[in-house]
Amino acid sequence: MQVYLPIAEMSVDALLLLGIGFGVGWLSGLFGVGGGFLLTPLLMLIGIPPAVAVASGANQTLGASISGLIAQWRRGNVDWRMGLTLFAGGLLGSALGVQIFALLKRWGQVDVAVSLFYVVILGVVGALMVRESITALLRRRRGAAPRRKLHEHTWLHGLPFKLRFRDSRLYISVIPPLAIGFGIGMLSAIMGVGGGFMLVPAMIYILGMPTSIVIGTSLFQVVFVSANVTLLQAWQVGSVDIVLTMLLLAGGVAGAQFGAAMGTKLRGEETRALLGLLVLSVAFARAWNLLQTPSRAFTLGPLP
């Protein structure tokens, strides 16, 4: 069944979009991430213009993350103060990201720039995830109890403007969370991702937040940043396609439930290893796209 996307100005098979939404939703339910990093490249692959794919991807991430946020909030797993600090950074970051995106669009380099960001960011994050989870799996096999200090002091703790984050049991400077929120907000505007897959490790390893509170708090940031990206993309670039978003969401919310049910059967390290491999494979696919000789030497685009 073909459906006409009014902003992308093309018609696409609605079942294909529902299927993509379901598949990505399933994986995101399984791994507890938004899945934007998978969705945006898939949309570009089926011929959606990169600008529309990125903007609608952010809009879809918003819808996909809201139910998770509600569930985590009910269990009291959201550190509001930390979430708001991250979001304050994210607000500035995503505003800058949208400006960069508009500039790239004017230069005609959106597809290349988005691909490069995917290769570098997903490559690094994926490699770190795989390494970390393999170390954890090996350590478990050896049976040696991991020796980790409860709280490590680094130069980050010497920064000024300290604030007490009671739910996270932290008393740290607001600069690191603001910077993390800023960086991820910027990337999510350019890459059309929520940024959960980058935010979760950053919160655990850089900020030292307890794992129980990380998912809920990262969802808080993802929901608000993707809402901001949606608004700015719709307003300044004009590339959010609501028909596309709704079709993806319809498949996605159903898929996420099945994924989440399956995710409870996997161990934490296994899940992280699989997610790491998935992230890495998306990075490789994008890299292949950049390196391979294009089938056409010329491209046609609208005059900016």
For another protein, the closer CB: 101 or 165: 101
- Which residues bind to another protein, rule: CB under 8 A? 1-4, 6-7, 9-11, 59-60, 62-67, 70-71, 108-109, 111-112, 116, 227, 230-236, 238, 240, 242-243, 245-246, 249-250, 252-254, 256-257, 261, 290-294, 296-304
Q: Shortest Cβ distance from residue 68 to another protein (Å)?
A: 8
Return the number of the residue (21 or 177) whose C-beta is nearest another protein. 21
Residue 13 DSSP label: E
Of residues 65 and 133, the one with the C-beta less far from another protein: 65
Phi-psi sector, 66: left (phi>0), alpha (psi -120 to 50), beta: alpha
Q: Measured from the CB of residue 187, what is the shortest distance to another protein in angstroms?
A: 19
Q: Within a 10 A sphere around the Cβ of 44, how many other Cβ atoms?
A: 23
Burial of residue 205 (number of CB atoms within 10 Å: 0-12, 13-18, 19+)? exposed
CB of 100 to another protein, least distance (A): 17
Cβ 234 to another protein shortest distance, Å? 3
- Whichever of 65 and 221 has its CB closer to another protein, that residue is 65
Tell me how far, at minimum, the Cβ of 235 lies from another protein, in Å. 5
Residue 184: CB minimum distance to another protein, A: 19
Other Cβ atoms less than 10 A from the Cβ of 300: the count is 5
Classify 125 as helix, strand or coil: helix
Write b or e for each residue in 211-248: b if 16 or more Cβ atoms lie within 10 A of its Cβ, otherwise e.
eebbbbbbbbbbbbbbbbbbebbbeebebbbebbbebb
CA distance 276 to 215: 17
In the complex, least distance from residue 182 CB atom to another protein, rounded to whole angstroms: 21
Q: Nearer Cβ to another protein, position 119 or 207? A: 119
What is the spatial distance between Cα 59 and Cα 173, in angstroms, rounded to a whole number?
Answer: 32
Element (H, E) at 269: helix 268-291
d(CA 221, CA 80): 10
Which CB atom, from 119 or from 172, has the smaller least distance to another protein? 119
CA distances from 179 to 1, 24, 224, 238 (A): 45, 29, 16, 28
Rounded Cα gap, residues 136 and 133, in angstroms: 5
- 13 neighbors 2 (Cβ within 8 angstroms): yes
CB of 301 to another protein, least distance (A): 5
In this complex, which beta carbon is closest to another protein, that of residue 240 or of residue 275?
Answer: 240
- Backbone torsions φ then ψ of 210, nearest 5 degrees: -65, 140
Residue closer to another protein by CB (options 144, 300) is 300
